[in-house]
């Protein structure tokens, strides 16, 4: 028997981005051979056969409405896993510094260099964001910080790959270091450690810093999510990297994207106070259950599972432990498994971070992925996205 991994019909449909019925059609036409696994009644498919068919079908598939495709060599979501340039993100997360993963996304090479911000830029961005009103969220500071950093970079319109990847470490450092301190800074110079001191007054622990670093790694990219599409469309007009990141932050701020973390944080908080059943019942009144399930991971979000495993090393309080266990068990009865948003909310509760921490973590992490997509998009023809509008208004008429 072949040693190729054997995939289910659901796995293949996800990889080829087609319906399961289309898989059956491929089989009947002889385009995809089936394999009968001993002791199983269902059909499975060899990984090499699926990849061969993917290369054939996705290279010739016509684009809908004549819109150009967004192709990427950065991230692949397939077979229930998330891969950064071929490497499993969930396996990288517990053992690899975020800075190294970011360099891997940008260049396909490993670098051990730390990230540092320009003192001059840092001073200006801090002063600018300090003028925001007291009720402003921590996330609200990020667009201000990026805008000021952009204005101070005379090379921002140089879109060469080397220039874009060279500015990225300073931009990420500025986005973190210009945020106000919640606690005394830690002597550890990693980006995760510096971000920790902006999010919680609690002292950093090795397990906590490891979990926060892993969170940054797991959220660094996720294929063509809404915010990444916004970044790439901006880049196609040759917007500079800072402007494209601002487009991504705008999309990320939506309550159905990066800002969903605040909702999950409040749900966990309600479960600690009122019990899991009451909290879930209240959220189901809104028509959704934040923090559970993911359309791209029908068997469970591997990012959430990886982070929850790391959180087992934290000293989680009894009421939080009960709330997490009860929420997970109650949601499981609806066939809903915890996703990465739920795991980040648990991290925030366990370490004393506020409800806005998750969206800041998300934004910092995802900026790394956006930079990788910027490099790819700048290599494509400019201004290439123009979809058909599908006009539904009244017909033209004379004045």
pLDDT one-digit tens code per residue, 380-398? 999 998 877 777 778 777 6
- Overall average pLDDT of the 281-308 stretch: 91
Q: Catalytic one among 83, 153, 341, 373? A: 341
- Look at residue 3 and tell me whether its pLDDT is greater than 70: no
pLDDT digits (tens, 9 = 90+) for 237-255: 999 999 999 999 999 999 8
What is the rounded distance in angstroms from the CA atom of residue 78 to the CA atom of residue 351?
Answer: 32
Whether the domain at 1-61 and the domain at 67-386 fall into the same CATH topology: no
pLDDT in tens, 145-160: 999 999 999 999 999 9
Which residue is catalytic, options 265, 294, 349, 373? Answer: 294
Q: Judge: domain 1-61, CATH 2.60.120.380.
A: no
What pLDDT does residue 19 have?
85
Which helix (H) or strand (E) segment holds residue 73: the answer is none
**Alpha-carbon torsion, ordered 241, 246, 247, 250, to 10 deg:** 160
Decide if pLDDT at 62 tops 70: no
**186 contacts: CB under 8 Å, gap ≥ 6:** 193, 194, 196, 197, 204
Q: What pLDDT is stored for residue 66 in this prediction?
A: 52
Cα separations in angstroms, 193 against 23, 176, 201, 309, 391: 47, 10, 12, 20, 50
Q: What are phi and psi of 279, to 5 degrees?
A: -65, -45
How far CA 353 is from CA of 129, 265, 303, in Å, comes to 21, 10, 20
Pairwise CA distance, residues 356 & 354, whole Å: 5
Assess whether 294 carries a catalytic annotation.
yes
Local confidence band at 64 (pLDDT 50, 70, 90 cut-offs): very low
Of the listed ranges 36-50, 139-153, 373-387, the one predicted with least confidence: 36-50
Residue written as tokens 């606690």?
Answer: 183
Q: Flag whether pLDDT at 63 surpasses 50.
A: no
> Looking at residue 306, what is its pLDDT?
98
Is pLDDT at 60 greater than 80 in this prediction?
A: no
**Residue range 106-131, pLDDT digits in tens:** 999 998 788 999 999 999 999 999 99
Place of tokens 């945020």: 179
For the whole prediction, is pTM greater than 0.95? no
Q: Tell me the pLDDT of the chain averaged across its residues.
A: 91
Question: Residue 360: what pLDDT?
Answer: 98
More confident site: 20 or 247: 247
Banded model confidence at residue 59, pLDDT cuts 50, 70, 90: low
Higher-pLDDT residue of 64 and 4 is 4
The better pLDDT of the pair 333, 393 is held by 333
Banded model confidence at residue 48, pLDDT cuts 50, 70, 90: confident
Residue bearing the bigger pLDDT, 60 or 96: 96
Residue 1 predicted with pLDDT over 50: no
Kindly state the average pLDDT of the residues 170-179.
Answer: 97
- What percentage of the chain exceeds 70 in pLDDT? 95
The full set of domain ranges for the chain reads 1-61, 67-386
- pLDDT surpasses 80 at 68: no
Look up 123 and say whether it is catalytic: no
Judge whether residue 399 has pLDDT over 60: no
Q: What is the pLDDT of residue 187?
A: 54
Which class does domain 67-386 fall in? mainly alpha
Strand partners, 75: 84
Place of tokens 């056969």: 49
């Amino acid at each position: 028997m072949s040693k190729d991994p054997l995939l289910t019909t659901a796995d293949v449909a996800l990889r080829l981005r087609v319906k399961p019925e289309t898989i059956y059609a491929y089989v009947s036409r002889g385009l995809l051979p089936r394999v009968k696994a001993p002791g199983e009644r269902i059909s499975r498919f060899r990984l090499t056969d699926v990849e061969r068919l993917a290369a054939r079908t996705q290279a010739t598939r016509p684009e809908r409405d004549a819109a150009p495709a967004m192709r990427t060599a950065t991230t692949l979501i397939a077979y229930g896993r998330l891969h950064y340039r071929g490497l499993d993100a969930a396996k990288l997360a517990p053992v690899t510094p975020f800075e190294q993963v970011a360099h891997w996304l940008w260049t396909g090479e490993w670098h051990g260099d730390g990230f540092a911000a320009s003192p001059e830029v840092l001073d200006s961005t801090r002063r600018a964001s300090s003028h925001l009103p007291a009720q402003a969220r921590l996330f609200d500071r990020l667009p201000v910080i990026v805008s000021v950093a952009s204005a101070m970079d005379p090379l921002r319109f140089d879109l060469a790959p080397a220039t874009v990847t060279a500015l990225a470490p300073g931009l990420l450092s500025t986005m973190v270091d210009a945020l106000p301190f919640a606690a005394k800074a830690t002597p550890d110079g990693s980006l995760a450690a510096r971000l920790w001191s902006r999010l919680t007054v609690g002292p950093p622990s090795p397990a906590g810093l490891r979990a926060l670093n892993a969170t940054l790694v797991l959220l660094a990219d996720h294929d063509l999510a809404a915010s990444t599409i916004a970044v790439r469309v901006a880049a196609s007009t040759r917007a500079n990297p800072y402007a494209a990141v601002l487009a991504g932050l705008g999309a990320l701020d939506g309550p159905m994207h990066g800002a969903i973390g605040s909702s999950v944080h409040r749900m966990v908080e309600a479960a600690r106070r009122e019990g899991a059943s009451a909290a879930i019942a209240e959220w189901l009144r809104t028509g959704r259950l934040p923090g559970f399930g993911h359309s791209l991971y029908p068997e469970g979000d591997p990012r959430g599972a990886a982070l929850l495993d790391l959180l087992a090393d934290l000293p989680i309080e009894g009421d939080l432990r009960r709330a997490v266990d009860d929420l997970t068990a109650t949601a499981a009865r609806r066939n809903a498994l915890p996703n990465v948003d739920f795991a980040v909310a648990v991290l925030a509760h366990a370490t004393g971070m506020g409800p806005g921490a998750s969206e800041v973590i998300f934004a910092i992490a995802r900026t790394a992925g956006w930079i990788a997509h910027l490099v790819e998009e700048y290599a494509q023809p400019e201004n290439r996205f123009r979809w058909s509008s599908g006009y539904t208004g009244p017909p033209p008429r004379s004045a």
